[in-house]
Amino acid sequence: MVSNLDKLDIRAPEPQDLPFLIKMENDRLNWWVSDTISPWSHYTLKKYLENSGQDIAITGQQRYVVYIDSYRIGLIDFYDYHPLHQRAAIGLIIAEEFRLKGFGTKAVELIIKHGKTFLGLHQVYAEVPEFNEASIRLFEKSGFERTGIHKHWIRKEGKFFDVFFYQKFLIY
């Protein structure tokens, strides 16, 4: 069983991550997180991996695999990256069996350090649905401040929910 939080790290995706990526992206229980409405094909995700090394300044996003030793436990990414404004959003998904164990918090800490050190980010932000109590706790524990609300922003199971906007300033 993977449990050593000190060994947790993030890295760029590699071709051998394809089965894990397919599992995570095609888990219907996670689709509401990324606005997915149909399964991703093997071909599409393979092409995504082949192109995932492109510069974040060109693509506006960069995904990382969250892992301990060689065991993959999740995915975390910067998206909506704006180099001029020195900000990016953070997206995170941890495999169900590893949730609520501190792995997400540690992954957020690592990606923030990377963003501050290598991308010169001034701030990071996250958009969290009101019903995602675990992510609300994670981002608040990580020093994010709730600065706004998008009313009736997402629809899940036929009902609309608010989305909380969280920000964390890294460089003043």
In a domain, 73, yes or no: yes
pLDDT in tens, 50-68: 888 888 998 899 999 999 9
Cα–Cα nearest to 143, from 129, 125, 130, 128? 125
pLDDT at 3: 63
CA–CA dist 22, 19 (Å, integer): 5
In a domain, 47, yes or no: yes
> Any idea what the CATH number is for the domain that residue 60 is in?
3.40.630.30
- Average pLDDT over every residue of 66-73: 93
Higher pLDDT, 80 or 1: 80
Question: With bands split at pLDDT 50, 70 and 90, how would you rate the model's confidence at 41?
Answer: confident
pLDDT over 70 percentage in the chain: 91
Residues 6+ apart with CB under 8 A from 133: none
Q: What is the overall mean pLDDT for the chain?
A: 90
In a domain, 138, yes or no: no
In a domain, 151, yes or no: no
pLDDT in tens, 114-162: 999 999 999 999 999 999 999 999 999 999 999 999 999 999 889 999 9
pLDDT at 51: 80
pLDDT at 49: 81
| Cβ(40)–Cβ(26) below 8 Å | yes
pLDDT at 32: 65
Instruction: Name the residue range of residue 41's domain.
Output: 5-121
In a domain, 95, yes or no: yes
> How many structural domains are present in the chain?
1
Question: In the numeric block, which tokens belong to residue 72?
Answer: 């993959």
In a domain, 149, yes or no: no
- Average pLDDT over every residue of 37-45: 73
